Amino acid sequence: DRQLLGLKDLSAAEIESILKRASYWEAHEEKRIPVLEHRFIANMFFENSTRTRFSFEMAQKRLGAQVLNFAAAASSVEKGESIYDTVRTLESMGIDAGVIRLKPIGVLDELAKHVKVPLINAGDGNNEHPTQALLDLYTMKKQFGEIRGLTVSIIGDIKHSRVARSNLWALKKLGANVKFCAPDSMKAAELGEHAPYVTIDEAIEADAVMMLRVQLERHAEGILKSADEYRAQYGLTVQRAAKMKPHAIIMHPAPVNRDVEIDSELVEAPNSRIFPQMQNGVPIRMAVVERALR
Ligand code: CP
């Protein structure tokens, strides 16, 4: 299967093979390796993005693909055209694959049934963000050698997070121990059977401490009462970070709400891998795009 809709249904072997291929691409010194010169890819973003959108484009251009960028705000979606009609329109023009980011959940699986070209999920609602979790795994693997046996804490707005879900499925498949930490208003009850919710002090005792962005744009009124209170109770403050294990790393998918879920001084601290995560997104997306098209 060349599409990538999520990691929940991807085998450990497939995940490992993408990570291995990303490592191959990362080791390539030439910036442009035109193996996809005659292939056309549309990046279809129905929700805003900086990292995912540009690292996909960087990955595609490094592989020599022809790139079409679609942004909903500048399209006929503004006139009421549906996601389905938009994707079918681009497909009818001859694209070979589509990268797609969507606000609603459940739409992507339906779309994939009706569209013949492979689709790559660039984030759908709070369901999955598979390439983010792949780059997170890749970052951890580079740091620790292997994922099996690691303890990874995912802290913050679990309820609204596709990053938490994709990481949960993949980390467990590869043998990591996952712990969650969140205020009650940001817990996803249905995930509790897959990973325990622990206190912030317990969560800090991990090999990788993954902070999540408080996703204000997805909140119903009043979930975040006070940013200062959130920081005091659930944020990675300088004081809390000092209690992390000496070998442990800080992660965050970004964008970051500085001084809310993580203190600004920690974003580029020596044990932070936040910018390396973004860098690793390029070889990961090269591997995923290549998988879709070759
Ligand atoms: N981490 C992430 O998905 O960032 P963007 O929303 O900027 O793509």
Which of 50, 99, 134, 282 to mutate to test ligand 1, by most ligand atoms within 8 A of the CB atom? 50
Residue nearest to atom 5 of ligand 1 (CA): 49
Bridge partner residues of 153 (DSSP):
179, 209
At residue 211, does pLDDT exceed 90? yes
Ligand 1 pocket check for 17: Cβ under 6 Å: no
φ and ψ of 46, to 5 deg:
-95, 5
Task: Indicate if ligand 1 lies below 6 Å from the C-beta of 256.
Answer: no
Q: Is 52 annotated as a binding residue?
A: yes
Q: Is the predicted pLDDT of residue 47 greater than 80, yes or no?
A: yes
Domain 12-129+278-293 sits in CATH 3.40.50.1370: yes
What local confidence, expressed as pLDDT, does residue 223 receive?
Answer: 72
* Mean pLDDT computed over 261-276: 98
CA of 126 to the centre of ligand 1 (A): 13
At residue 233, does pLDDT exceed 90? yes
Task: Give the residue from 235, 225, 218 showing the smallest Cα distance to 156.
Answer: 235
Q: What is the pLDDT of residue 141?
A: 98
Are 127 and 100 in contact, with CB atoms under 8 Å apart? no
Same fold, 12-129+278-293 and 131-273: yes
Q: Measure 218 CA to ligand 1 centroid, in angstroms.
A: 14
- Using one digit for the tens of pLDDT, what is the confidence trace for 52-111? 999 999 999 999 999 999 989 889 999 999 999 999 999 999 999 999 999 999 999 999
> Is 224 or 63 the better-scoring residue by pLDDT?
63
- Rounded to an integer, the average pLDDT of 14-21 is 98
pLDDT of residue 246: 98
Residue 224 has pLDDT above 90, yes or no: no
Distance 49 CA to ligand 1 centre (A): 5
Q: Select from 166, 95, 87, 91 the least CA-distant residue to 125.
A: 166
Q: What is the mean pLDDT of residues 37-50?
A: 97
Mean pLDDT of the chain, nearest integer? 96
Q: Tell me if 125 CB under 6 Å of ligand 1.
A: no
Query: Which residues, other chains included, contact 179 with Cβ-Cβ below 8 Å and sequence gap of 6+?
Result: 151, 152, 153, 154, 195, 196, 197, 198, 202, 203, 206
Q: Count Cα atoms within 13 angstroms, Cβ side, for 30.
A: 8
pLDDT at residue 1, rounded to an integer: 74
User: Is 79 labelled a binding residue?
Assistant: yes
Mean pLDDT score, 264-293: 98
Share of the chain above pLDDT 70, in %: 99
Indicate whether this model's pTM tops 0.90.
yes
Percent of the chain with pLDDT over 90: 93
Mutational test site, ligand 1, from 43, 52, 103, max ligand atoms within 8 Å of CB: 52
Q: Confirm or reject: Cβ of 132 under 6 Å from ligand 1.
A: yes
Every domain of the chain and the residues it spans:
12-129+278-293, 131-273
Is the Cβ atom of 49 under 6 angstroms away from ligand 1? Answer: yes
* Residue 168 confidence (pLDDT): 98
Q: Is the pLDDT of residue 36 over 90?
A: yes
Question: Dihedral of CA 163/147/51/235: which sign?
Answer: positive
Among protein residues, the one with the nearest Cα to ligand 1's atom 1 is 253
Q: What is the mean pLDDT of residues 151-168?
A: 97
Q: Is 172 annotated as a binding residue?
A: no
Separation between Cα atoms, residue 37 and residue 83, nearest integer Å:
28
Instruction: Assess whether the C-beta atom of 153 lies below 6 angstroms from ligand 1.
Output: no
Tell whether domain 131-273 is in CATH 3.40.50.300. Answer: no
Task: Please state the ipTM of this predicted complex.
Answer: 0.99
Distance (angstroms) between ligand 1 centre and the Cα of 54 equals 9
Q: Which amino acid is at 201?
A: D
Ligand 1 centroid – CA 52 distance (Å) = 5
Position 116 scores a pLDDT of: 96
In tens, the pLDDT along 183-197 reads 999 999 999 999 999
Whole-number pLDDT of residue 109: 95
Q: Give me the mean pLDDT over the 245-258 stretch.
A: 97
- Is residue 251 over pLDDT 90? yes
